[in-house]
Amino acid sequence: MTPLNHSDIITSTVKRLSEAESYKKLCHQHREGEPLPSGEILAKIIVLARSILFPGFFGNSSINSRTLNYHIGVKTEKLFELLTEQILAGLCYECTAEESTYIETHRENAKAISAQFIEKLPTMREILATDVEAAFVSDPAAQSFGEVILCYPAIRAISNYRIAHELHLLGVPLIPRMITELAHSETGIDIHPGAVIGEYFTIDHGTGVVIGATSIIGKNVKLYQGVTLGAKSFPLDADGNPIKGIPRHPIIEDNVIIYANATILGRITLGEGATIGGNIWVTEDVAKGARISQIKAKK
């Protein structure tokens, strides 16, 4: 095969790949001024948010109490600016209108949502403080709060979830899921932004944890690696496709512990204080305080 032929192949393949038939649903055509949300910018937003929520632990600034407010100020303003652009991109992605005036409306909405999110930061910091405490207290290997904040993947996954959940509550499309998927990739912990999770929540090790979109988790719950809170089956619509939006994931009450690789499926309830052993498949309600485990392995 001669060099000329390679050039021919490239040229003809480009032509095929540029035909509308070929890309159909796999292509996103941007209207002017309406880029897609960007994974890279969202990653920067998360770093900014973490460095505001846990001052001195993330980002490269050397904080002290006299200069703290300068840093928080600059970072919060930057967060507002970047987040507004991403929310705008999310709003534009969903909308179908073609009139350019709509962009300005979306821009105003994006700013308002972004400001509402900023306003929630102090509350987010309070609840994340309980998550850090829960991780520290329940792990005999943890040496300090700082170690938990710096090293524990659970704190990264839960921070992203709590950020994404606020954006989800504010009605932002697409972006919350992108934010939790960033944590999923970084930690192996997959929490859907729609899940509702109480304070003092912790996950040990965490790889393989899945928490579905309609899960409800109480206070002081601890999960181990590989735990799934999933759906058992989906009611189908007339076309045989799953109906979207129906509650289909478990309710976990306060003070429950679920050990490694347990799979909890369907809209069942694990009662307050229950303990679920590892490697089991649970598809029915579990009573308050109950302890269930796998039957013995055969030797």
CB of 294 to a copy of itself, least distance (A): 5
CB of 218 to a copy of itself, least distance (A): 19
CB of 49 to a copy of itself, least distance (A): 11
d(CA 65, CA 207): 36
Helical (H) or strand (E) element with 203: strand 202-204
155: nearest Cα among 194, 181, 127, 178:
127
Judged by CB, which is closer to a copy of itself: 198, or 260? 260
CB of 94 to a copy of itself, least distance (A): 8
Judged by CB, which is closer to a copy of itself: 57, or 198? 57
d(CA 23, CA 229): 36
274 conformational bin, left if phi > 0, alpha if psi -120 to 50, beta if neither: beta
- Contact between residue 54 and residue 146 where contact means Cβ atoms under 8 Å apart: no
116: its two tokens: 């509402």
d(CA 284, CA 231): 12
Number of alpha carbons in the 13 Å side-chain half-sphere of residue 205: 10
CB of 273 to a copy of itself, least distance (A): 14
CB of 34 to a copy of itself, least distance (A): 8
Judged by CB, which is closer to a copy of itself: 161, or 261? 261
Determine the residue type at 75.
Answer: K
Helix axes 101-119, 68-94, angle to 10 degrees: 140
12: its two tokens: 């003809």
Judged by CB, which is closer to a copy of itself: 238, or 241? 241
